[in-house]
Structure 1
């Protein structure tokens, strides 16, 4: 499985719009080819939000990234903060490794990543 972890750090005023779009995209998850799971997170007081998603393939992730709604939210907010993302592969069912690596990466400051 392919794991994708994203983090946006920016102005707190932007988080509601970003999070609403994230919820809208997450609601479509069952119909997205190759989508396995998604978890959204937000730290409103810190101005941070993001996702941890699992995909059946890199092609499936690219299909999601190209969705018009995803492109719009990225175009709108990309310059209003710092966006970081990482991907890696994990064996199916190895949840502990997935969450351990995701938490470690998300805890790093941008200069450590």
Structure 2
């Protein structure tokens, strides 16, 4: 299990494995950072993410995922790990995902970070994801 700790007030859900939780070789990591205008919006975004995560165990190319949140700042998001960038992009184009994105477009701030990791190492991934999580929210360009 991971040994990374984030600052006080940051919540991290347990690892939710995808259909390929033990990949060999490189993986693609995506970190999302949502900034809501209120606690109510933050909870709605969390529920939408949780609804998407119900399909996670069968999501093609998914290695696994953590949700993170800073309720006191109305911020949260996910750290998702994929076999390839193409797998992540297929998820982004998934109709259920695009429907949620359209519903929230312009209502919340969104920040993103992504990278190719040499291998799946939870501590290394969470350490780098922490750079996004621990930084003040920046809106994506």
**Normalising to structure 1: TM-score of the pair?**
0.89
Q: Are 1:37 and 2:64 matched, yes or no?
A: yes
Size of the aligned set, in residue pairs, is 111
Secondary structure at the aligned position of 1:79 is classed as coil
Secondary structure at the aligned position of 1:80 is classed as coil
Given the alignment, which residue of 2, 5, 30 partners 1:4? 30
Given the alignment, which residue of 31, 46, 51 partners 2:73? 46
1:13-70 deviations in Å (ceiling 9; x for gaps):
2122211111111111111110000111222221111000000011110111011221
Tell me which residue corresponds to 1:22: 49
Higher helix share: 1
* Root-mean-square deviation (Å): 1.5
Contact 1:55 1:61 in 2 (8 A): yes
Tell me which residue corresponds to 1:105: 132
Given the alignment, which residue of 93, 96, 99 partners 1:69? 96
Tell me which residue corresponds to 2:116: 89
Deviation at 1:72, TM superposition (A): 1.5
Contact 1:18 1:73 in 2 (8 A): no
**Normalising to structure 2: TM-score of the pair?**
0.73
Deviation at 1:74, TM superposition (A): 1.2
Deviation at 1:7, TM superposition (A): 0.3
